[in-house]
Amino acid sequence: MATSQPIAQASFSTTPFSFTPLLSDGDDVVSRSGTVASGIGVLKRGTILKIDPATGNITVPVAASDCNCILVNDLDATLAAQAATVYVSGKFKADAIIWPGALGHGVVTDALRNYTILLESVVYTDGTLVKTMATEQEAAAAQAVVEANRAAEETKAAGAGKAVEGAKPSMDSPWAYLTAEEREKHPELAEVPTAQELGEAAGEIPAVPTVTLSPTSDTLTSGAETASFRVTMTGPGVSGTWTATEEGSVSWLSIVSPTAPQSVDGDVTYAVTANAGALRTATINVNGKTFTVTQSAGA
């Protein structure tokens, strides 16, 4: 009679596994991913850290106001950057928390509560009471922070090309606020309207065309003088207006014309007073583009 062979053999370890509970309960726990830069070193689960909501960069806080998250798992970022997950909301056991440097328990706990990170009430040997319940005003502020973090996450998702296909962004959508740098990194989002474009389409924001300045700078003599440069509206189907303004408080430079918004190409004429001192510079802004005026030193 054939003898059957076992499919597998199980083995069990008698070595106890210790994992300090960090969460007080599973209610309202929110986490997000980020990156710990190389050189920060070994970080343990439960360490209080700082995460930039916009970039996901995770660093060690240097002030109580920096504290806004708690590390989920151990990691070693001594020699290389490490992906990490942090809790940004929830209720946690204070005796499992690793505090940042010499920062006081009380001020750190208050800072964490602003991000709806609540710690159990524990009295430490130094007599500091770690509080749990937030005031109504603090709770409202914390909710505002949570919503800001959520918007930042949505912006990050849009930047990674994860926008829902066919979705139409609105002024309330963070997709509309992608930076020029983010758009360059993700050409697939080129068709996502900017906040400016959405506002113009809705009639909420006056159209502001892209402009080209020619030239972009000029150097004048030390005497009183009047000069000009050309403003050209660029791009397909341009509309709207451009405006020339002096940047900062400069008493020796003034814009002669135009003094009102313009809807067509034109010249900006400016004047400078005589200079009896050292070489000086000033700038004129036209829809975000800068024209630099340099006046030579006086005799």
pLDDT, tens digit (0-9, with 9 covering 90-100), for 120-174: 754 443 444 444 444 455 455 555 555 666 666 666 555 544 444 444 444 444 4
Place of tokens 């309330």: 172
DSSP code, position 258: -
Is residue 184 within 8 Å of 89, Cβ to Cβ? no
Highest average pLDDT, of 97-111, 234-248, 265-279, comes from: 265-279
Domains within the chain, CATH numbers bracketed: 30-140 (2.40.300.10), 165-205 (no CATH), 210-295 (2.60.40.10)
Q: How far apart are the first and last CA of the chain?
A: 117
Res 237 pLDDT > 80: no
Lowest mean pLDDT among 7-21, 83-97, 218-232: 7-21
Is residue 66 within 8 Å of 50, Cβ to Cβ? yes
> CA-to-CA distance for 106 and 203, rounded, in angstroms?
49
**Higher-confidence residue: 13 or 154?**
154
Lowest mean pLDDT among 19-23, 128-132, 206-210, 246-250: 128-132
